[in-house]
Amino acid sequence: MSGRTVTITEVARHAGVAVSTVSYVLSGKRTISAGTRRRVLDSIDALGYHPHAGARALASKRSNVIALVLPLRAGMHVPVLMRFASAVVTAARRFDHDVLLLTADEGTDGIRRVAASALVDAFVLMDVELDDSRVPLLRELAEPSVLIGFPAEPAGLTCVDLDFAAAGAQCVAHLAERGHSRIALLGAPAVVYERGTGFARRTREGFVAAVAAHRVTGVALPCEETFDEVYSTLSRLLRDQPDLSGLVVHNEAAVGHVLSALRQLGRRVPEDVAVVAICPDDVAERASPPLTSVLIPAEEVGREAVRLVMDKLDGKPAPDATLLTPHLALRAST
């Protein structure tokens, strides 16, 4: 099979109709009688026809490809990124679109280039930061875009993310309900807060607000990702506050170290210290003990981002902000 590539003309000839009729069968943009449609569809499959993407893009001014733009900083959050990416591809396919991968190496030029060359119809940006250099460019582009994460000035943009403030608050509420009155948040490395990464700050804000609301004592600390740093942070914390009994960990890479360090400091989980994590499910499940956690719903975020960008492509209005409700999964650590 597949000697040469099959064109719409051959399909038309095979089905005994005009080329335009085949096109209309495929696009559904004009009514076609059931009989003709059948014949055309049969010919399509008999010949193994696939429309030529370039020709289609040229004639229709739509490439049916969206760009997925990777974050500026590699190294953070990595496994989650992969799940986002995979979710975005899967969701895009459901709208009959493919996904072009763009890295930050090329910076804003890459975005400009693929937009200008009509390679893609729209953009999904992952892991947007508060002060993101790609954002101003997006504003002047004709192509629609959706951001995963929130920049400092999100007005007029379409952004999706987990509601991290609610996630932080939910962890506090959970620990408070369990009777813990002195708790701590171990967050991202200090540099991440300084850089102004939105999700880290928002979690902390949610934590702080909930601590006040629930009338418990809580302290939020940044947390480096080496065992030694985690160990010393924790031992200091437990020395200063011996009755600390609840811990919220929002740092995927440090989760394992936190558990090891507690073990080594002679604290049992959950008997002495209850631990809630904000991290992907697989990390929480693989920990020992498995962690009660607020999962980062990568699939859901990816799917939602694609849905929004498709709405915008169709000219439908899209809400500026979409915050996905966090869900707490109960496991052995609380």
Which residue ranges make up the site for a second copy (CB under 8 A)?
2, 5, 48, 50-58, 63, 65, 68, 70, 74-75, 78-79, 81-83, 85-86, 89-90, 93, 98-103, 105-106, 110, 113-114, 116-119, 140, 142, 225-228, 253, 256-257, 259-260, 263-264, 282, 286-288
The interface partner of residue 29, options being a second copy, DNA, none and the CB cut-off 5 to 8 Å by kind, is DNA
3-state DSSP call for residue 172? Answer: helix
Choice between 109 and 177, CB closer to DNA: 109
DSSP 79-92: HHHHHHHHHHHHHH
Q: Per rule CB under 7 A, is residue 30 in the interface with DNA?
A: yes
Choice between 83 and 174, CB closer to a second copy: 83
The interface partner of residue 190, options being a second copy, DNA, none and the CB cut-off 5 to 8 Å by kind, is none
Q: Per rule CB under 7 A, is residue 47 in the interface with DNA?
A: no
Among positions 26, 81, 173, 219, the unique one binding DNA when judged by CB under 7 A:
26
**Measuring CA to CA, which residue among 244, 179, 236, 168 is closest to residue 204?**
168
| Strand 328-329, strand 292-294: pairing | antiparallel
Distance of alpha carbon 7 from alpha carbon 52, whole angstroms: 8
- In our burial notation (b when 16+ CB lie closer than 10 A, e otherwise), range 57-77 reads beeeeebbbbbbbbbbeeebb
The interface partner of residue 38, options being DNA, a second copy, none and the CB cut-off 5 to 8 Å by kind, is none
Q: Report in angstroms how near the CB of residue 47 gets to a second copy at its nearest.
A: 11
Token readout for 218 is 């809580």
| Strand 246-249, strand 274-278: pairing | parallel
Angle (CA) 304 100 164, round 5°: 35
Choice between 30 and 263, CB closer to a second copy: 263
Q: Is the dihedral of CA 145, 149, 152, 158 positive or negative?
A: positive
Q: Report in angstroms how near the CB of residue 278 gets to a second copy at its nearest.
A: 18
Q: Report in angstroms how near the CB of residue 97 gets to a second copy at its nearest.
A: 11
Specify the amino acid at residue 258. V
Q: Report in angstroms how near the CB of residue 41 gets to DNA at its nearest.
A: 12
Q: Which residue in this structure is represented by tokens 């992969």?
A: 82
| E strands present in the chain | 65-69, 98-102, 122-125, 145-148, 159-162, 182-186, 217-221, 246-249, 274-278, 292-294, 321-324, 328-329
Choice between 116 and 212, CB closer to a second copy: 116
- Residues with Cβ within 8 Å of residue 201, at least 6 apart in sequence: 130, 193
Choice between 18 and 321, CB closer to DNA: 18
The interface partner of residue 86, options being a second copy, DNA, none and the CB cut-off 5 to 8 Å by kind, is a second copy
Among positions 33, 75, 140, 271, the unique one binding DNA when judged by CB under 7 A:
33
Stretch that binds DNA, among 58-66, 80-88, 241-249, 319-327 (CB under 7 A): 58-66
Q: Give residues in contact with DNA (CB under 7 A).
A: 5, 7-9, 16-24, 26-27, 29-33, 35-37, 49, 51-52, 55-56, 58-60
